[in-house]
Amino acid sequence: MPTPSFAGVLPTPSTFERSDSSTKTRGNGDAIVELRNVTKSFGQQEVLRGVTFIAKRNETTVIVGGSGAGKTTLLRLIVGLDRPTSGEILIEGEDITKMRESQLNRIRKKFGMVYQYAALLDSITVAENIAFPLVEHTKLSRHAIRDRVFEKLTQLGLDPAVVANKFPAELSGGMRKRVGLARALMLDPPIVIYDEPTSGLDPTTSRLVDDLIEHTRQRFGVTSIVISHDIASCFRIAHQAILLVDGRIETSGAPETWLEGPSNVAKEFIRNSGVDVRAVERIVVARETP
Ligand SMILES: Nc1ncnc2c1ncn2[C@@H]1O[C@H](COP(=O)(O)OP(=O)(O)OP(=O)(O)O)[C@@H](O)[C@H]1O
Ligand SMILES: [Mg+2]
């Protein structure tokens, strides 16, 4: 069964007004998202049971885990759509768990969301879809918006002359991903969240999407948090891979460390995926040590 899409969870495509240039700092190793002993219960069910990790600025953190492990729940807490039962969640150093709704709205704008099935609006063109965050959140002229849309399309390897006036249904799956990413990046969020970016795509397109995630991280200086079932993708793009099992972190670290690490559950997870991870070519650029 496919993972429920994150579509419709956020009220609008997430946006961010960059407040200072430090958000573009590359690989300086600082924490941009930090969870401290986070728990989340729904009624009697404890879905997250003490989750602690740091996502470092300009790195890619991939969260993998089986169905029902708590991945989507974790995402919703990180972007401030839901509150944990206990624990702290720091976004760029600010604990969001006790924030008022108005403060949370400011935090939500730090995240660009790339939804599982792109979640584009079918009845409007590609250009109109991408322009949406700018129309909603800025007072830019139509002309300026059009320039920005064309620039973003070009940066993501799409020819505006070809795709701008097409409708989403006229694009391939890979192109739709790019358009969804363009929309998520429109207001320069420091953090981009990808929900199952490669699910439902063929292996070749999956690889292209992985390239796109890594390229975007480098080109725009963003921090990527990726929710995925795809172990090959994880080995290609993750600086840090976190395996969530039954609401707990089973193991974390660079994905290749799972192979030699103490967790048999992690080794079994890799084995069950059927992917020969030693043959997977890593495309991620190692983080520069400070
Ligand atoms: N709003 C909610 N109310 C009650 N239970 C919930 C709620 N949201 C999630 N759960 C439960 O929490 C558990 C984890 O769900 P979650 O959606 O986080 O899993 P997941 O790892 O994203 O799974 P999948 O890979 O299938 O998407 C499930 O047992 C689910 O039923
Ligand atoms: Mg999910």
* CATH number for the domain that contains residue 199: 3.40.50.300
Mean pLDDT over 127-149 rounds to 91
Asked whether residue 217 is assigned to any structural domain, the reply reads: yes
Q: Show the domain range for 209.
A: 21-110+189-279
Stretch among 17-21, 137-141, 216-220 having the lowest mean pLDDT? 17-21
In DSSP notation, 142-178 reads HHHHHHHHHHHHHHTT--HHHHTTS-GGGS-HHHHHH
Residue 250 maps to a domain: yes
Q: How far apart are the C-alpha atoms of 57 and 225, rounded to whole Å? A: 10
- In-domain check, residue 56: yes
H or E element at residue 252: strand 248-253
The pLDDT-based confidence of 253 (bands split at 50, 70, 90) is: very high
Give the Å distance between the CA of 112 and the centre of ligand 2: 18
Query: Which atom of ligand 1 lies at the shortest distance from residue 247's CA?
Result: 14
Handedness of CA 68, 69, 75, 77 (dihedral sign): positive
pLDDT of residue 7: 33
Q: CA triplet 54, 72, 235: central angle to 5 degrees?
A: 60
Tell me what the pLDDT averaged over the chain comes to. Answer: 85
How far away, in angstroms, is 3 Cα from ligand 2 center?
A: 5
On whether the CB atoms of residues 191 and 27 are closer than 8 A, the answer is: no
Please report which confidence band the pLDDT of residue 165 belongs to, taking 50, 70 and 90 as the band edges.
very high
Residue 261 has pLDDT above 60, yes or no: yes
Phi first, then psi: what are they for 126, rounded to 5°? -55, -50
In a domain, 273, yes or no: yes
34 assigned to some structural domain = yes
Domain count along the chain: 1
Q: Is there an atom of ligand 1 within 6 Å of 65 CB?
A: yes
- Note the pLDDT of residue 178: 86
Ligand 1 centroid – CA 79 distance (Å)? 16
Total Cβ atoms within 10 A of residue 154: 13
Query: Beta strand 223-228 with 31-42: parallel, antiparallel or unpaired?
Result: unpaired
Q: Does ligand 1 lie within 6 Å of residue 2's CB atom?
A: no
Q: Report the alpha-carbon distance of residue 34 to residue 242 in Å, rounded.
A: 13
Report how far residue 38's alpha carbon sits from residue 85's, in angstroms, rounded to the nearest whole number.
7
Q: Is residue 244 part of a domain?
A: yes
200-218 pLDDT per residue, tens? 778 888 888 899 899 989 9
3-state secondary structure of 237: helix
Residue 7 to residues 84, 167, 195, 244: CA-CA distances in angstroms? Answer: 21, 19, 9, 22
Residue nearest to atom 29 of ligand 1 (CA): 68
Q: What whole-number distance in Å separates Cα of residue 201 and Cα of residue 198?
A: 6
Residue 243: inside a domain: yes
Q: Specify if 27 maps to a domain.
A: yes
